[in-house]
Amino acid sequence: MAFLDFIVNWVDNPASERTLVLFGQAGTGKSSIAHEIARRFDKMGRLTSSFIFLRKEQSEGEAYHLFTTLARDLSDRYPSFKAALGEVIKDNTSLRLRTRDYPTLFKSLVLEPLKDLHIVGPIVVVIDALDESGDVTGENGLHKFLAQNLSRLPSNFSVFITSRREDGIASVFVGAPSVRIKHMDDLELAAKAHDDILAFLKEKLPLDEFNDYGDELAKRAEGLFQWAAVACGYILKPPGSFGFSRKKSIEHLLRPSADYPGQDPVGRAVQRSPKRIFYTPSSATSISLCCWAAHCYI
């Protein structure tokens, strides 16, 4: 479980950098890893906030929801933070209703309430698909602000970010304070991707199906977490028009690629980039970003 174990160990190490950024091409499984990390830490009661950007639902004017969501989630988890935040915003109508600039929101909604608090234990924040935020260009983009300012968070914060490796995004994180960078094609970790995918399949699939087909499915994924994630959905809830059982769905997925007139069904699903779902720490259910990333001032 190379990638997952690496991230968990990074969170657990008090000497780790404040931010870990995982870069990778589309379809390589960055979001599947982010989702799994969020799920694991939520299950342990250690996930504080998670946020996913969806390109079709974001514009430059909406990326600020990252900070209002983080403030809301910190308030839900830590009553002392909620009280401190209330003091900051109670007489500031402009901050509550109109402010959209990142420096003001980060300072007022996050840093100021945290200033005199002593929260024990790691505070884990997961941000998926930064490249889809709608504001990753120019001198004042969200990517540059995060690279330059996340180090101002208390030392017990661990912020895990995933993104495509676009030049404008990657360059601002290189050399940024308290930032570590990893890539999906990291030779040491990628060599163990098969084991990661096998562990993922073991957790998602019924035991009988995993015992019979787990290794074959992991090999078929060819190191792509996104393929494995979509395949699990295809197996557990086969398309109704096919009339397939779980076993028949698995056999269909394992057919040689040459047997398909075009691309295999999971490959098509991955290319279409289906709407992703993500964990919110306030519940053990997966919720679309559009359902909860609205105005969330306390």
pLDDT of residue 289 exceeding 50: no
Is 150 domain-assigned? yes
pLDDT of residue 98 exceeding 80: no
Sequential DSSP letters for the chain: -HHHHHHHHHHH-TTS-SEEEEE--TTSSHHHHHHHHHHHHHHTT-EEEEEE--GGG--GGGTTHHHHHHHHHHHHH-HHHHHHHHHHHTT-HHHHHT---HHHHIIIIIIHHHTT----S-EEEEEE-GGGSS--SSTT-HHHHHHHHGGGS-TTEEEEEEE---HHHHHHHTT-TTEEEEETT-HHHHTTHHHHHHHHHHHHS-HHHHHHHHHHHHHHHTT-HHHHHHHHHHHHS--TTTT--HHHHHHHHTS-GGGSSSS-HHHHHHHT-PPP-EE-TTSSSEE-HHHH-S----
What's the rounded Cα separation, in Å, for the pair 107 and 126? 19
Quick one: 197 and 87 in the same domain? Answer: no
Q: What is the mean pLDDT of residues 231-256?
A: 85
Quick one: 89 and 150 in the same domain? Answer: yes
For residue range 263-281, what is the model confidence (pLDDT) as tens digits? 455 554 444 333 333 344 4
Quick one: 160 and 203 in the same domain? Answer: no
Domain of 145, CATH number, reads: 3.40.50.300
Q: How is residue 48 written in tokens?
A: 């504080």
Residue scoring higher pLDDT (100 or 127): 127
16 — pLDDT class (breaks 50, 70, 90): very high
pLDDT of residue 189 exceeding 60: yes
pLDDT of residue 91 exceeding 50: yes
Quick one: 42 and 162 in the same domain? Answer: yes
Residues 6 or more apart in contact with residue 212 via CB below 8 angstroms: none
Residue scoring higher pLDDT (61 or 21): 21
Question: Count of domains in the chain?
Answer: 2
Range of the domain at 220: 192-254
Amino acid at position 62, single letter: E
Whether the CB-CB separation of 279 and 50 falls below 8 Å is answered with: yes
For residue range 43-57, what is the model confidence (pLDDT) as tens digits? 988 999 999 998 765
Which range among 50-64, 250-264, 278-292 has the greatest average pLDDT?
A: 50-64
Is 268 domain-assigned? no
Q: What is the pLDDT of residue 76?
A: 94
Sequential DSSP letters for 142-160: HHHHHHHHGGGS-TTEEEE
pLDDT of residue 295 exceeding 70: no
Q: What is the mean pLDDT of residues 209-220?
A: 92
Residue scoring higher pLDDT (187 or 70): 70
Quick one: 204 and 127 in the same domain? Answer: no
Is 127 domain-assigned? yes
Least confident of 97-106, 109-118, 186-195, 279-288: 279-288
Least confident of 10-19, 195-204, 220-229: 220-229
Q: What is the pLDDT of residue 274?
A: 34
pTM recorded for the entire structure: 0.73
Q: What is the pLDDT of residue 157?
A: 95
Q: What is the mean pLDDT of residues 128-139?
A: 89
Q: What is the pLDDT of residue 192?
A: 75
Quick one: 142 and 248 in the same domain? Answer: no
Quick one: 160 and 176 in the same domain? Answer: yes
151 — pLDDT class (breaks 50, 70, 90): very high
Which range among 18-22, 24-28, 242-246, 255-259 has the greatest average pLDDT?
A: 18-22
What's the rounded Cα separation, in Å, for the pair 106 and 257? 49
Q: What is the mean pLDDT of residues 217-221?
A: 88
Q: What is the pLDDT of residue 239?
A: 76
Q: What is the pLDDT of residue 32?
A: 81
CA 59 to chain centre: 19
Q: What is the mean pLDDT of residues 207-216?
A: 93
Quick one: 110 and 184 in the same domain? Answer: yes
Q: How is residue 146 written in tokens?
A: 């995060």
Half-sphere exposure of 11 (CA within 13 A, CB side): 23
